[in-house]
Structure 1
Amino acid sequence: MLDSLEPPEKKYERPSISELLEKIENHQKRLTGLLKYYSLFFRGMYEFDQKEYVEAIHYYREALHKAEHLKGKQANRIIGVIHHNLGLVSTRGGNLTDAEYFFRRALEMKDHMNTANSIRTLYMMANVLYQSSKLDEAHLFYEKALKLALHCNEEEYKAKLTIIYSIYEEYNEKEVERSLKYLEKKRLWSEYAELTEKIGDFHFETGNLPKEGIS
């Protein structure tokens, strides 16, 4: 099942979040344990997708409460993913303090860090710390995320890390353009839109506005 709001590139067409949610909630009376968790988790994903961030946090917290009663590595991975997604919701809602807290909690989960989700959390932690002007610590997480991205050949995260490094540390126009082209090629529109907006803000704040636009 879907583990994160940032799934890897799809090789086949998956049902939408609303379709999954409908299937689960049609059997609501029989839900217990792990299935109850997934019901709440998908509801949180759905509310996030609808930009209902308060509702998303509510359902993720309920899912977290259920997951904390589960046992084993799978439970620990689930808890890590929920903290990661709570961090995403908080970031999107502009609450960087809460976002930092939730990403730190996810990073504390060893079983979470042994999954593909680890690079996502490291990237988001670096991103949030950069936005919070905690540049030294942000750079440490940037390096950790980049090392893992290079090791796993994660082109998406290499591109995104290149962009945030350019925005907050040392701007490299050619590398930024190359990274944006990769995101565009892979149709990662949400990430593309978010990062181009940040690049636009960077150029505006520094007074270095490109003559022909960002792309």
Structure 2
Amino acid sequence: MQQVSLNEDTIPYDIVTKKLNEWYTAIKNNLDREAERLKDEVEELMGNMEKNPDVILYHQLLDFRHELMLSYLKSRNEEELKAAYESLKEHQGQLKGMLDYYFFFFMGMYDFRRKELVSAISAYRRAEKSLEYVDDEIEHAEFFYKMAEIYYYMKQTYFSLNYVKRAMRIYQKYNNYADRVLRCNYIIAGNLIDSLDYEGALAKFKDTLQISYSIRSEMHVYTSRLNMGICYNHMEEYEKAYDCLIEAYKYFDKVNHACVEKTLFNLAHVQARKGDLKSAKSFYEKGYEVATDRNNSEYIVKLDLLKALYLTDKCYNLIDDSFSYFVSHKMYGDIEEFGFEVAEVFQKKGDTTRSAKYYKEVILAKNQIQKGEMISETQINSLINDSHTGLEHSRIE
């Protein structure tokens, strides 16, 4: 399915466009080796192609998307990604139609990776305004999935489930999209956890595990294990949680996957809640080292919170700093979840003042989630006005 078309009279452009679209397909499917091969082929073709501004911009957009893929799969240095991001931002407001969609869609993905949720959802919603210029139905499903993902992260369950069902309806119409259907099921199960339906979520994760075995996808086998471990932790079945998480960690560590620090955090969390503080400290130290090395601010903060709550005494500043980070990034789902846990721990210690403080944080976070007004229309309109108005269908000529 072709994402971008060129004037058929210009053969070199047709060849380049076809190769660019093949490259994008490999990127979307996380086929890193195939994507690297196609990238090299594209670079060679671009070097011999007559200059065309739209083709050059499409290439630049895909190069940024390629780096996003590698940063997720291989935990690549974020500096190259940041440089590509800054370079692309210079074109904001200059693109129309399909290229406008790709620009804001990829910007949203980058902002989500940095946990800049307001910027990410703003960019996604801006991209949605140009989605009509994209003919490829699978690309529509990709967009719906990303919207479901960020709304799940924001604990906007209704919107998340609405978008993920729209994505699944498309994916299930085609062959060879088992990977995407699995990812959609992770989102559905995550929303079930947020709805406190742990049994339903666990059943869904067990289904994804069996499907992962059937399609022989190691990555999805261990992603399912990771998710099962998180679910068992919520259910306070710590031995089962540990067994799932340690399996996932061994795989992610072997392939240097971006989920290493997340898995180590969850291992430390499970062991701390179980009371095995020696083991928890070991996983905490490994996780903190990885998160620091990769400059993963989200998990540095979460590991600091874990340290203050279970592994040291009276490090109240670390807890306050963690919640300040959550607030500044509008991470109300994390405030609700961790606020309740912190409040419970202080309650058990008899520190009713601090317990009350964090119960209040939970209530405030719930209010923000229920309002569903984390993104104001003013912010959206501002973003739109920074771009062009009066969009028209754009083809690369």
TM range (shorter): 0.7 to 0.9
Q: Is the 8 A contact 1:56 1:89 kept in 2?
A: yes
Q: Identity percentage over the alignment?
A: 16
Aligned partner of 2:297 in structure 1 is 155
Task: Verify: 1:142 aligned to 2:284, yes or no.
Answer: yes
Aligned partner of 2:165 in structure 1 is 21
Q: Distance in 1 between matches of 2:283 and 2:191?
A: 29
Task: Verify: 1:120 aligned to 2:262, yes or no.
Answer: yes
Q: Distance in 2 between matches of 1:40 and 1:201?
A: 31
What code does the residue aligned with 1:202 have?
Answer: V
Listed one character per residue, the Cα deviations across residues 122-157 of structure 1 (whole Å, up to 9, x for unaligned) are 001100000000111111000001101111111111
Aligned length: 208
What code does the residue aligned with 1:60 have?
Answer: F
Aligned partner of 2:239 in structure 1 is 97
Aligned partner of 2:197 in structure 1 is 52
Q: Is the 8 A contact 2:268 2:281 kept in 1?
A: yes
What code does the residue aligned with 1:57 have?
Answer: L
Q: Is the 8 A contact 1:112 1:118 kept in 2?
A: no
Q: Is the 8 A contact 1:80 1:112 kept in 2?
A: no
Q: Is the 8 A contact 1:21 1:42 kept in 2?
A: no
Match for 1:200 among 338, 343, 346? Answer: 343
Q: Is the 8 A contact 1:122 1:145 kept in 2?
A: yes
Aligned partner of 1:77 in structure 2 is 219
Gaps of 5+ in 2: 1-27, 29-71, 73-111, 125-145, 149-159, 362-397
Task: Verify: 1:166 aligned to 2:308, yes or no.
Answer: yes
What code does the residue aligned with 1:62 have?
Answer: D
Q: Quickly say closer, same or farther: Cα 1:113–1:123, change in 2 above 3 A.
A: farther
Listed one character per residue, the Cα deviations across residues 75-130 of structure 1 (whole Å, up to 9, x for unaligned) are 22222211111112222223222211211121121467522111111001100000
Q: Quickly say closer, same or farther: Cα 1:61–1:200, change in 2 above 3 A.
A: same
Aligned partner of 2:332 in structure 1 is 189
Q: Distance in 2 between matches of 1:89 and 1:123?
A: 14
Question: Greater RCO between the two (CA within 8 Å, min separation 6)?
Answer: 2
TM-score by length of 1: 0.82
Q: Quickly say closer, same or farther: Cα 1:186–1:210, change in 2 above 3 A.
A: same
Listed one character per residue, the Cα deviations across residues 22-71 of structure 1 (whole Å, up to 9, x for unaligned) are 33245646455435544544443443344322222222212111211334
Q: Quickly say closer, same or farther: Cα 1:25–1:43, change in 2 above 3 A.
A: farther
Aligned partner of 2:272 in structure 1 is 130
Q: Quickly say closer, same or farther: Cα 1:111–1:137, change in 2 above 3 A.
A: closer
Q: Quickly say closer, same or farther: Cα 1:175–1:49, change in 2 above 3 A.
A: closer
What code does the residue aligned with 1:169 have?
Answer: L
Task: Verify: 1:179 aligned to 2:322, yes or no.
Answer: yes
What code does the residue aligned with 2:192 have?
Answer: E
Aligned partner of 2:250 in structure 1 is 108
What code does the residue aligned with 1:15 have?
Answer: M
Q: Distance in 2 between matches of 1:136 and 1:122?
A: 14
Computed over aligned residues only, the root mean square deviation of the Cα atoms, in angstroms, reads 2.7
Q: Quickly say closer, same or farther: Cα 1:207–1:49, change in 2 above 3 A.
A: closer
Q: Quickly say closer, same or farther: Cα 1:40–1:180, change in 2 above 3 A.
A: closer
